[in-house]
Structure 1
Amino acid sequence: MVPRLTALVSGAALAVSALPAGAASVNAADHFISHQGNVSYSSNWSGYAETGGSYTSATATWTVPSVSATSSSTYSSAWVGIDGDGNSDLIQTGTESDYVNGHAEYSAWWEILPNYSVTIPGVTVKAGDSVTASVAKSSGSSWVISLADDTTGKSWSATKTYTGPGQSAEFVQEAPTVGGSQSAVAHFSTFGFRNLKVDSAGPGLVSSEKIILRQNGVDYATPSNPNSSGDGFTVSYTG
């Protein structure tokens, strides 16, 4: 993610590396994951990434997590996307669960790097809502970004231009950066990504693809192992 037009939230794509997690900047993919055995760590991503193919669509359903009060502002984003793991391209859409200025804030958004993310008009989400989101190539450089609040029946869809290589597909709970610095992770409730699809089929997730969000030696967001179908998992705040 890069800065929200309204909330000044920023982030970056994730690049595969054996180096430890690095600091974020607005216009560069300078977050890294560190591979340690069958587990990977990132300073801003928690979830799963499919790599090694040429991907043209990704879809997920999740329940918007609630956030509890914190003494300072904290942030979190749940999203589905294509690219960003191993390159600086990324097309994504998702929901925001933040605790800012003494209260919880929730919203839906879409983004294509390196441009700013944009709040989705007409879809007001809240904690506990079921949301289904997708990014899908239609033809050439035309992609359709869609997000629906299944609880309220409100939905949004738009066709955008995207020219990334489609090298990865992700299902992520992220700690974005704010004002150019890595944000503290919101204390979000445990929630699940479900009905995952990559190129219209189940992704067949395996536990070795797991990414744990670690900052300063602390694991703040940890995904579960995949379900028996390999098309879903939960994420918990563990800080």
Structure 2
Amino acid sequence: MTWLMSLALCLVPSSGTGAPHARPIVVVAANQSFNWAGYVQGALEKGTTFHSIAATWVVPTASPHRAGENEYSSSWIGIGGGCLDTACTLTDATLIQAGIGHDIDAAGHVDYYAWWETIPAPLVRTTVRVGPGDRVGVAIFEGRVPEVWTIAIANFTRADFFTITLPYASTHATAEWVIETPVVISDAGVVSVGPMPNLTVVRFDNARANWVPAAFVPEERMQLVDFDLSPIATPSLPDAQRDGFNDCTYTASCAAP
């Protein structure tokens, strides 16, 4: 039984550190952004809109990049919010997404959690238990009724599942598989970009768009950089099947799976 079939079987009708919120891509150049690292496909590039997305990956181990600071990151997939073409001349403002958070507080404690979000609403944590090294799968798809979506999150290591069906008005314009430094809103309402912790290599695999293999090409890569354009996270070339890749933090290069 494939992991997608396993997901289908489950489809039935911290204080003081701030809360992370994902957001649409913040573009620097054709293949660089201030918040995303991974692969982004757009309707203009692919000649189609996106009505489902899926992937598996192993939850990375997070460790402090700088001692004594709160650091935030997520690995996720989503529809909307990305670049419509590989030059990233046009972007999208809608975004439905789900994935895994791996945050670190100033004392060095790591918080792993599964979540989903529909922009502009805030992130919602799920009951799925996750930890470093767990193999997870996420699927997001539109059902027979337009603009009614199902989000499914599975932790295959712990045999834990979550699913929700909800309405969301999407443009269906982009699909993405990324790691991110999210926006952080403090208890006082201060908004900032969360520093990225060190992460072990995040390998996305079994990537699907509209229920078929994603067929990644190198031009779809997006590198995450800081305001000095130094790399924070870099995606690799696609794997041999073109349905997977690696994401590496704090390096300018990343070997393919």
Both proteins in one fold, TM over 0.5: yes
Q: Which residue of 1 aligns with 2:244?
A: 232
What is residue 182 of structure 1 aligned with on the other side? 193
- Equivalence map 1:150-165=2 (5 Å): 150-165=156-171
2:202 to 191, 195, 198: 191
Q: How many residues align?
A: 214
> Which of 73, 77, 101 is the aligned partner of 2:70?
73
Residue 130 of structure 2 aligns with an amino acid whose one-letter code is: V
Counterpart of 2:170, as a letter, is G
Counterpart in the other structure of 2:49: 54
Give the deviation of 1:227 after TM superposition: 0.6
Separation in structure 2 between the aligned mates of residue 208 and residue 109 of structure 1, nearest angstrom: 29
**Which residue is equivalent to 1:219?**
231
Which position in structure 1 is the counterpart of 2:106?
101
Distance 1:60 1:206 in 2: 16
1:149 aligns with 2:146: no
**Distance in 1 separating the partners of 2:172 and 2:80:** 5
Question: Within the alignment, does 1:10 sit opposite 2:52 as a pair?
Answer: no
Matched, 1:170 2:181: no
Distance 1:107 1:147 in 2: 11
Instruction: Give me the whole-angstrom Cα distance separating, in 2, the residues matched to 1:97 and 1:198.
Output: 25
Letter in 1 for 2:193: Q
Match of 2:34 among 43, 48, 72: 43
Match of 1:140 in 2: 146
| 1:220 Cα offset (Å) | 0.7
**3-state SS in 2 of match to 1:81:** strand
The counterpart of 2:132, out of the listed 127, 135, 139, is 127
Counterpart in the other structure of 2:94: 89
| 1:1-33 Cα shifts (integer Å, max 9, x gaps) | xxx9x951123211xxxxxxxxxxxxxxxx224
What SS does structure 2 have at the residue aligned with 1:166?
A: coil
1:113 alignment counterpart? 119
Deviation at 1:95, TM superposition (A): 0.2
Can you give the 5+ residue segments of structure 1 that lack an aligned partner in the other structure? 15-30
Secondary structure of the equivalent of 2:219? helix
Contact 2:92–2:174 (Cα < 8 Å) also in 1: no
Q: Secondary structure at the match of 2:153?
A: strand
Amino acid in structure 1 at the alignment position of 2:246: T
Give the aligned residue type for 2:116: W
Partner Cα distance (2:148, 2:97) in 1: 14
C-alpha offsets along residues 181-200 of structure 1, whole Å, 9 cap, x if unaligned? 11111111112000000011
> Which one of the candidate residues 25, 34, 38 is aligned to 2:29?
34
Kindly indicate which of the two structures has a greater share of residues assigned to helix.
2
Q: Which sections of structure 2, spanning at least 5 residues, go unmatched?
A: 1-14, 83-90, 186-190, 252-257
More strand by share: 1
Between the aligned partners of 2:175 and 2:77, the Cα distance in structure 1 is 8
Instruction: Name which of 202, 210, 221 aligns with 2:213.
Output: 202
TM-score by length of 2: 0.80
Structure 2 Cα separation of the partners of residues 174 and 229 of structure 1: 24
Q: In 2 relative to 1, CA 134–7 (structure 1 residues): closer, same or farther, beyond 3 Å?
A: farther
Aligned partner of 1:208: which letter? E
* 8 Å CA contact retained: 2:22, 2:123: no
Percent of counterpart pairs with the same letter?
30
Distance 2:50 2:20 in 1: 27
Give distance in 2, aligned partners of 1:7 and 1:166: 30
